[in-house]
């Protein structure tokens, strides 16, 4: 179980203006128990704009800063026991398009030689149990990222996809909510080199030299109080690319515990669109899975 943080700060967004404090917090953190919230209030461990608040009925305003001291740990939701039919957007024989939920691994993770995650704790295992053992995962998303993934059966589509991804003719678009604006402009590009973080082996970092080139286009879609929504199109596919580049720009994604975003029940990053190019025997194809936030 994750350890609780010492301090958690959130900003009230316009949609929460005028609501009760307890309802805002339960809406933001549905995994918290009612007793957790009661304890925090009774112990004066919640402040609004620096003032301790002990009434759940306290009305908040857009732009208010709420600080929770020693908040309960957020436990990631348990993965579903079976493949959910509403994940499937298209089954075209040798190609399946699915919308992966946040919190679900894309594929089993090897923890040590011969050791894997328990069966069923990832999208690939669930899909193989549902559709058959010949299903393979063609490209993956981070566990905490939701959105479009491609799975395939044996067939010519695998060579077609392999060529399309290698030639970077596959279009991928993401939506994210940011914890701050940092150095971002209304529209721009992020170009940097990424390599393993020398301080943490599970993270990546922007490096001054060496590493792998990473390139991302972006467009700010919404820039209001407590609501910074951004469209992203990566032109390279580096590990944690969008998360690292945005954090380095001073605009981490909300819910990104690894790279410094404000805490939330999930990472606010979603793979919303994927478009495949036309090729011999393969027409151009395009799918969209709207962001759930």
Residues 8, 263: contact at Cβ < 8 Å? yes
H-state helical runs in the chain: 21-28, 34-42, 123-131, 157-166, 241-248
Of 142, 144, 256, 265, which residue is the catalytic one? 142
Residues 126, 134: contact at Cβ < 8 Å? no
- C-alpha–C-alpha distance, residues 133 and 127, integer Å: 8
- Residue 221 to residues 18, 166, 178, 232, 236: CA-CA distances in angstroms? 25, 30, 11, 10, 22
- C-alpha–C-alpha distance, residues 99 and 15, integer Å: 27
Q: Which of 146, 161, 200 is nearest to 282 (CA)?
A: 161
Residues 50, 57: contact at Cβ < 8 Å? no
Residues 245, 190: contact at Cβ < 8 Å? yes
Active site residue 142: yes
Residue listed under structure tokens 């020693």:
70
Q: Which of 222, 187, 268, 218 is nearest to 10 (CA)?
A: 268
Give the catalytic positions in this structure: 142
């Amino acid at each position: 179980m994750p350890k609780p943080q010492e301090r958690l700060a959130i900003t009230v967004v316009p949609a929460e203006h005028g609501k009760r404090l307890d309802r805002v917090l339960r809406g933001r953190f549905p995994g918290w128990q009612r007793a957790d919230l009661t304890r925090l209030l009774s112990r004066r461990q919640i402040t609004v704009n620096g003032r301790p608040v002990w009434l759940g009925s306290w009305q908040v305003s857009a732009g208010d800063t709420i600080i929770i001291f020693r908040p309960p740990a957020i436990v990631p939701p348990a993965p579903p026991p079976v493949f959910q039919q509403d994940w499937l957007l298209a089954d075209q024989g040798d190609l399946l398009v699915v919308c992966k939920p946040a919190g679900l691994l894309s594929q089993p993770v090897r923890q040590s030689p011969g050791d894997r995650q328990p069966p069923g704790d990832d999208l690939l295992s669930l899909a193989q149990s549902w559709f058959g053992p010949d299903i393979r995962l063609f490209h993956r998303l981070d566990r905490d990222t939701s959105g479009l993934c491609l799975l395939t059966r044996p067939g010519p589509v695998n060579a077609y996809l392999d060529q399309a991804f290698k030639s970077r003719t596959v279009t991928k678009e993401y939506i994210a909510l940011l914890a701050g604006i940092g150095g971002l402009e209304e529209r721009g590009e992020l170009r940097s080199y990424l390599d393993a973080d020398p301080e943490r082996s599970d993270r990546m970092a922007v490096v001054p030299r060496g590493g792998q080139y990473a390139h991302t286009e972006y467009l700010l879609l919404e820039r209001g109080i407590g609501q910074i929504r951004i469209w992203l199109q990566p032109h390279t596919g580096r590990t944690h690319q969008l998360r690292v580049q945005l954090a380095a720009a001073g605009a981490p994604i909300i819910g990104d515990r690894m790279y410094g975003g404000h805490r939330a029940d999930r990472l606010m990053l979603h793979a919303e669109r994927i478009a495949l190019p036309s090729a011999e025997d393969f027409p151009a194809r395009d799918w969209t899975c709207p962001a759930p936030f």
